[in-house]
Amino acid sequence: MKRTCSILTWTVPLWCMACGRAGAPRSDIDDGIAEHAMVVTAHPLATEVGVAVLREGGNAVDAAVAVHYALAVVLPWAGNIGGGGFMVVRTANGKVITLDFRETAPMRASRDMFLDSAGVANPRLSQFGHLAVGVPGSVAGLQAAHDSLGSLPMARLIQPAIDLAAMGFGLTAREAQRLNEALVGLRTHSTRPNAFTTKSHWRAGDSIRLPELAVTLGRVRDSGPAGFYTGRTADLIVAEMERGGGAITKADLAAYTPVWRAPVHGRYRDLDIHGMAPPSSGGIILLQLLAAMETVDVRTMGWQRVSTVHRMVEAERRAYADRAAHMGDADHVRVPVAGLLDPMYMRERMQDIDEQEATPSAAIGAGVPDEQEETTHFSIVDAQGNAVACTTTLNGSYGAHVVVGGAGFLLNNEMDDFSTAPGAPNAYGLVGGEANAIAPGKRMLSSMTPTIVTHHGDLVMVLGTPGGSTIPTSVFQVLLNVVDHDMTMQEAVSAPRFHHQWLRDVIQEEAGAITSTDSATLVRMGHGLVVREPIGRVDAIRVLPDGRLQGGADPRGDDSIGGY
């Protein structure tokens, strides 16, 4: 299979010249290069697991399954079997397909379940504890992907995760910090003692063993999804729900089904962009943002200079306003996908921007399309040219802070991704309306944006990121960094980022994302700016003109590149 893309012909000297013009930062991280296959994940141990599968002759989907299970052990705040996600797959023959294994609302869920007597949403209930948990989809989703596209035995793919859980692994400094920050919540909301709370303070290098999780994974290895959604594991989940006042029943677990969906597709320059359809909003938002930039010369405007940032922010205001009004689970509500993705629709939305003045978000509502921050992502390309972009999540860091007693795994808090009340923001500040209201069996709206880029059928890029509401804008910026600003994959991933999401009306920026001079100009134009913690953790792969693979592992985390 031919992987190369003729338009990607940039060299380091050309990048340096572009930097001089645009003011883009030069990363000091060496670009990872692989001749045949590559894995980029949020944890070195998970990367090693994926590369080993590829070396043994497994394909990209096999590696994705193994990586996902490994992350459920070594990245407990986001990797999971108690959550869900989305997978975009490009097969060696050029076909792109997508798998939705997003969580669903339990059948006992109700529209007003998080409202108090005055009709006000209570974010504590939707973000922490048992009532915040949606029916997990990861185990069923990984099985569906393997059944359709895998090649190695499923037991081989799960075993590394079992070994890591049983034998233990050393915590990185970031992992120790994250776990310490979550300890109070884990002790408060879990109803049984668990491995995470055996210490009062964790340090980098401490070894943590998860024997109950090892046994749970063993049941999945031996019995497939039935080893999770029925039998002993299901009993433990339901018992945890009953002790903590949750809503999930055995019937909810037995009824869960992942869904193969048609990808959303659009073009930017002469590239084809493939992403997730609803209930992910990410694919639509990304394509809307790219459509807004298609008509301008981004390269000449310069990397994150005033005119570039201004236009990107104005596009983000409009796309996120559309998200709030129009997007939800397309199996339950009508989402005007074709209208939202019509390039002319977004260009018309951009016609009223003032190049010299910010548009207040309060003055922007959703358009009328014509219908004629915790997650993890990994990117994989195998030697045959199969590619996987997979984003998976518990939603918040450590999800609902509920560890299933006797089973050793964390449960998600995805119910907070519904619109708990009209105009009420969720944990990421996103608001929504009727399209994303809670209903039994419904999938909550997501921002996850696993993305595959091709050119005339040839693979160009595989990318995605965690980051809640910032996910689509992070993928957007990395794409522009490569396509318009001539960065390598690592440079594009490492470059500082900014974000706007309509409400609240402020540009969130990482330190160094916008120069002080340009920031002052943007403020005079009416933009609000605030410096915040790092945005996202993009893991990405780019195919070079000679067919080699160039990785980008985000330095904001413990992310790593592996390959051969």
Q: Which residues are catalytic?
A: 375
96 close to 429: Cβ distance less than 8 angstroms: no
Strands (E), 91-192: 96-101, 169-170
Residues 524 and 235: their CA atoms lie apart, in Å, by: 59
Six token digits for residue 171: 């915590």
CB atoms within 10 A of CB 204: 12
Q: Which two tokens stand for residue 461?
A: 């890029």
CA distance linking residue 504 with residue 371, whole number of Å: 29
Take residue 336 and report the two structure tokens written for it. 């005007």
- Check: CB of residue 563 under 8 Å from CB of residue 539: no
Contacts (Cβ under 8 Å, ≥6 apart) of 412: 80, 82, 83, 84, 103, 132, 133, 134, 136, 393, 394, 395, 399, 400
Contact in structure between 321 and 365 (CB atoms under 8 Å): yes
Helix (H, G, I), strand (E, B) or coil at 293: helix
Q: Are 288 and 273 in contact (CB under 8 A)?
A: no
351 alpha carbon, distance to own chain's centre: 31
Query: How far apart, in Å, are the Cα atoms of 338 and each of 16, 111, 344?
Result: 40, 28, 11
State the Cα–Cα distance between residues 137 and 114, nearest whole angstrom.
Answer: 22
Confirm if 520 and 529 have CB atoms less than 8 A apart: no
Whether the upstream peptide bond of residue 279 has omega within 30° of 0, thus cis, is yes
In terms of Cβ atoms closer than 10 Å to its own Cβ (0-12, 13-18, 19+), residue 233 is: buried
H-type alpha helices, 342-470? 343-349
Which residues face 553 on adjacent strands?
A: 539
Query: Other C-beta atoms within 10 Å of 16: how many?
Result: 11
Q: Which two tokens stand for residue 225?
A: 């999804």
Report the candidate in 320, 75, 357, 363 with the shortest Cα–Cα distance to residue 210.
75
| Residue 275 burial by Cβ neighbours in a 10 Å radius (0-12, 13-18, 19+) | buried
Strands of 539-543's sheet, edge to edge? 32-34, 549-553, 539-543, 458-464, 451-455, 271-275, 264-268
Q: Which residues pair with 315 in a beta bridge?
A: none
For the record, the structure tokens of 114 come out as 């998080």
Q: Is 395 helix (H, G, I), strand (E, B) or coil?
A: coil
Tokens 């595989």 sit at which residue? 462
